[in-house]
Amino acid sequence: MQKKLKEREIIDRFINSGIISGWFLQEIPVGLKIFENILAKEYHEKELTRLRGTLTVLSRKIDLVCIVGINRPPLKPKFKDWLKIREELKGTKAWLFEVKDRLNAEALGEILINEYLFKKDNPDIHVIGKGIICGKRDPNSLLIEEACKAYRVKVFII
């Protein structure tokens, strides 16, 4: 039985492969806009400001985002830092990635949902691609890879 690869190891392998280059940002929160809209209907402005801190807990996270055309060291920004960084990224192009040890249907669902939420939160960052980065391939992967093609999700086996 093969050893399960850790997400960190898969990410490092992918970044070092140079398949796609740019500025890699890890664990980027998404779903913020939807939660803000829900909270805005329920709370007054003072309460809303206080509750914004809970968005980091409620939000989903994209495993890896690559901002194309910017070459900086990889970063795992804190929630407040991401809110500032994304303002600087307006007009840029990005790839979104889900990272798994093995390709599975869950990964496909996650990247599709995260793409939708990322676009809602960051309409000024143009998503040019989405992918699933995996450590291993198995016979079941073939069926999932076919579905990935249908949804324009690129699969990277590292």
Is residue 17 over pLDDT 50? Answer: yes
| pTM, full prediction | 0.87
Write down the pLDDT at residue 15: 97
CATH number of 7-29+59-157: 3.40.1350
The strand pair at 126-136 and 154-157 is best described as parallel
Residues 6+ positions from 95 with CB-CB distance below 8 Å: 20, 22, 65, 66, 68, 127, 128, 129, 130, 131
Is residue 41 over pLDDT 90? Answer: no
Residues 6+ positions from 108 with CB-CB distance below 8 Å: 132, 144, 147, 148, 151, 153
Write down the pLDDT at residue 14: 97
- Output the six-digit token pair for 47: 């309460």
Is residue 153 over pLDDT 70? Answer: yes
8 A C-beta contact, residue 132 and residue 107: yes
Write down the pLDDT at residue 1: 44
Write down the pLDDT at residue 111: 98
Question: pLDDT class for 102, splitting at 50, 70, 90?
Answer: very high
